[in-house]
A and B are shown apart, each in its own frame.
Chain A
Amino acid sequence: MGNEKVVSSRRKFLKTAVTLAGATIGYSWLKSSQVLLHAAEPKDESLPWYGIVIDIQKCIGCGNCAKACKNENDVPKEPFFFRTWIEQYTVKNDGSVDIVSPNGGIDGFEQRAPAEDIFKSFFVPKMCNHCSKSPCTQVCPVGATYESPEGVVLIDEKYCIGCRYCVQACPYGCRFIHPVKKVANKCTLCYHRLKKGLAPACMEVCPTGARMYGNLRDKNSEIVKFLKEHTTQVLRPHLNTGSKLYYNALSSEVR
C-alpha cells in the first residue's frame, strides 16, 4: 500500500515535470518564430530598400511637388484627393498655431499674419510614409495593399474591394478613394518611375532639393549620409508604424 503511494506520487511528479518542460520549450519556440505580426523583412538583399527624407528647412511651399504628383499619377485635380500635399504652420507670438493647406498647397501659400505677430512659421510636405510595419497593410482584408520587395507600399487596383479599412488605419491621412476608379489610392513613390531609374515626380521638380529618396541599405547614398549627419524624426513615433519618411527640423507642433 505504501508502495502504491510512492509510485503514484512519482507519477504525479513526472507528469508535472514533463508538462512544465514541454510548455517551456513550446513557448520559447513560439516566441522565437515571429515577434511582430507583419513586419516586412527586406527579403531580397539585391533590391534597394527605399526610404525618404524631407528637409523642412529647405521647403519653400512652392507647391510644385503636389502639382507634379497629380500630373504624373492620374489624380483628379479637385481639392479633395492628394497623394502628397504641403501644410503651412504659423505659430503666433500668443502661442496659437494656425495650419492651412489650400488645395494641398498646389497654388502656393500666402503669409497668414503680419510678420511682427509671427513667432515662427514653416512648411511641412506630407506624403505616404511607406511604413515598414504598415498599419494599412495589416488591416486590408483581401491583400489588395502590400509592401513591395523594395519597401514601397502599393495598391492592387484590380483587387481592392473598396472597404476603406486602410483609409481608417493610416495615421497620416495619406489614403483616399479614387472617385473614378472607386478603389483605394495613395502615393506609390512613383514606383513606375523608380523601376526605370527615374526619381519620383515630386522629387524631380522640387526646386530646393527638400525631398530626397534613396536606398537605406546603401551606406554611400545621399539619403543615408543625410540621416547620419542630421537629427531626423518620423511622424507619430509612438504608433510604431516603422515609418521610413524622416523629417529634418520637425517642430513639435506638427502632427
Chain B
Amino acid sequence: MEPHYQHLYDILAHSQGYIFPNEIDLQWGILIVVYPFITGLVAGAFILASLERVFKVKILKPTYQIALLTALSFLLVATMPLISHLSQPQRAYEIMITPHSSSAMAIFGFVYLWYLMVVLLLEIWFDYRHSMVVWANEKSGIMKWVYKILTLGVNDISPRTVKWDRKLGYIITVIGIPSAFILHGYVGFIFGSIKANPWWSTPLMPIIFLFSAMVSGISLVLLVYMIISYFRKQVIDLNVLDSIGKYLFFVLILDFTLEGLDQIQRIYEAGESFEILKLLVSSKLYLTLFVSQGLIGTIIPLITLAFLQFYKHRIKVRKTMYFIIGILVLIGVYSMRWNVVIGGQLFSKSFAGFTSFKVGLIGLDGTLMAVFWLILPIGILAFLLWLLPPWKMVKEED
C-alpha cells in the first residue's frame, strides 16, 4: 500500500521557521489527547466515590455506585485509544510480556491492570455481591446464571459474611485512593519525564494532570447523576448537587493554582526554550489555551461556583447552572489535554520553528475513532446500570 505523502507536502509548505526534517508530522495525535482525558475521568470519578466511603461524606451516598460504574465504563475503554494509535497494534501484547522497567509506558500496563482488577472490580464486587446473590435467586433463565457467575459462586449472605463485604470494600477503597493517584499521575509522568521536550518536562506534570483529572471526574459524575435522575424521572436532590459543587469548586481552585504556578515559574526563569514557547502560547495555542481552557473551562466555572457557594439558597435555577458548569469544565479539561499533547509537538526541538497539525477524519488515528472511544463508555455505562442498578440494591442497615 503506497503511503500518501500529499498531506505531508501540505504541512511542509505551512511550516514556519526551521524544524528538524523528521519533525514534519506529529507523532501523537487526537487519540493521545483522548487517552489521558479518559483515564482522568476514571481517577476523578473514583476519588469522588472514595469521598463517600472513606471520608464518610454521607450526602454523596446517592452518587457512590454511579461514580464507581462510571469509572469502570471509562476504564474498560481507556487502553483502546492507545492500542488503536499504535502503528503495529497486533504487537501490543509485548508491553505485558516484556515490559521495559525504565519505561513509564510499560509500567503503566501493570498499574492499569492492578487498578482494574484489584481496585475497581473488587470494590464494585464487594459492594454488589449481596445484591447479586439476591438477584440470582429472584431471576430465572439466563440472567440467573449471569448473576451466579458474577458472584463467583459465593452464595453466603449471612450477616457475618456481609459484614466482611463492607470491611473488605473499605480496605480496597483505602488502597484505591493512592492507586487512582498513581493511575493518572503516571500518565502525567509519561509526559513530565521527557527531558527532550520543555513544554512537557516538569516535576509538576503528574500533579497538574491529577488535579485536572479530579476536576473532570467530579464534573462527569455530576452530569451522569443529573442525566440518570432525569431518565428515571427522579427528583434531583439539590443538596447532593451543592455538595458535589463544593468539592468541584475547591479542587478547581487547586488545579488552577498549580497550572498557574507551572506557567509563572516558566515565565520567570525564562530558560532556553522560553521564546519559542511564548510564541507557541500566543499564536498556535491562543484559542485552545486562553479561551477554551482558561476562560470557558476555568474562569467562568470558578466565578459561578464561587457565587453559588454564598448565594446558593436564593437561586432556583442552580440545577441548570451546575449542568452547564459541568459541561464547561469537561471542555476545559479536554482542552488542557490538547494543549499539552498537541502543543508539545507543534514547536520544533530546534526551538526555531513550528509545524502544523491537521486532524484526519477517518482511519485508525482519526477524529471518528476518537469520538467512538469517547461514546463507547457511555454505552457501557448504560449497560452496567441495567445489569447492576444501584436503586434496586438490597438495603443494608448501617
Binding site for B on A (CB under 8 A): 37-38, 78-82, 85, 87, 97, 99-101, 104, 126, 135, 138-144, 159-165, 167-177, 179-180, 182-183, 239, 255
Contact = CB atoms under 8 A, between A and B. Distances in A.
Interface in B302-346: 345
Interface string B352-380: 10000000000000000000000000000
A255 to B, nearest CB: 5
Interface string B4-17: 01001000100001
B105 interface: yes
Nearest to A176: B22
Contact of A99 (B86, B94, B350): B350
Interface string B28-49: 1000000000000000000000
Contact of B100 (A85, A101, A143, A180): A143
A161 B94 contact: yes
Interface string B184-211: 0000001001111100000000000000
Interface string B83-111: 00011110110110011101111100100
Interface of B: 3, 5, 8, 12, 17-18, 20-25, 27-28, 82, 86-89, 91-92, 94-95, 98-100, 102-106, 109, 190, 193-197, 345, 348-352
Contacts of A37: 102
A82 B22 CA distance: 6
A79 B102 contact: no
Contacts of A160: 88, 91
A138 B107 CA distance: 12
B352 A163 contact: no
Contacts of B20: 85, 101, 126, 172-173
A164 B88 CA distance: 11
- B interface, by DSSP: helix, strand, loop or mixed? loop
A100 B18 contact: yes
Contacts of A170: 196
A172 B349 contact: yes
A198 to B, nearest CB: 26
A210 B100 CA distance: 37
B45 to A, nearest CB: 27
B18 A168 contact: no
A24 B381 CA distance: 52
Contacts of B194: 135, 139, 168-169
A135 B196 contact: yes
Contacts of B3: 179-180
Contacts of A163: 82, 86, 105
B107 to A, nearest CB: 9
A255 B350 CA distance: 5
B352 to A, nearest CB: 6
A135 B12 contact: no
Contact of A168 (B28, B87, B94, B351): B28
Given A167-B27, A177-B27, A80 B102 contact: no
Given A164-B28, A177-B87, A183-B87, A101 B22 contact: no
A18 to B, nearest CB: 30
B25 A80 contact: yes
Given A85-B20, A87-B18, A135-B195, 5 more contacts: A78-B5, A82-B21, A139-B193, A142-B95, A239-B196
7 contacts: A79-B21, A99-B350, A142-B94, A168-B194, A173-B21, A176-B22, A255-B350
B228 to A, nearest CB: 37
Nearest to A101: B21
Contacts of B21: 79-82, 85, 101, 104, 173
Nearest to A175: B22
A161 B95 contact: yes
B352 A255 contact: yes
A167 B196 CA distance: 10
Nearest to B87: A162
A141 B5 contact: no
A172 B352 CA distance: 13
Contacts of A255: 349-352
B87 A173 contact: no
A141 B106 contact: yes
Contacts of B5: 78, 80, 179
Nearest to B91: A161
A85 B24 CA distance: 14
Among A126, A144, A164, A180: residue with most chain B CB under 10 A: A164
B349 A139 contact: no
A206 to B, nearest CB: 19
A126 B103 CA distance: 26
Contact of A139 (B17, B22, B92, B104): B104
B196 A78 contact: no
Among A80, A144, A183: residue with most chain B CB under 10 A: A80
Nearest to A184: B87
A255 B353 CA distance: 12
Contacts of B18: 87, 99-101
A81 to B, nearest CB: 7
Contacts of A179: 3, 5
Nearest to B353: A99
Contacts of B87: 161-162, 164, 177, 182-183
B89 to A, nearest CB: 8
6 smallest CB-CB distances across A and B, nearest first, come from A162-B87, A173-B20, A171-B196, A141-B106, A99-B18, A164-B27
Contacts of B99: 141-142
A150 to B, nearest CB: 21
A203 B196 CA distance: 28
A168 B196 contact: yes
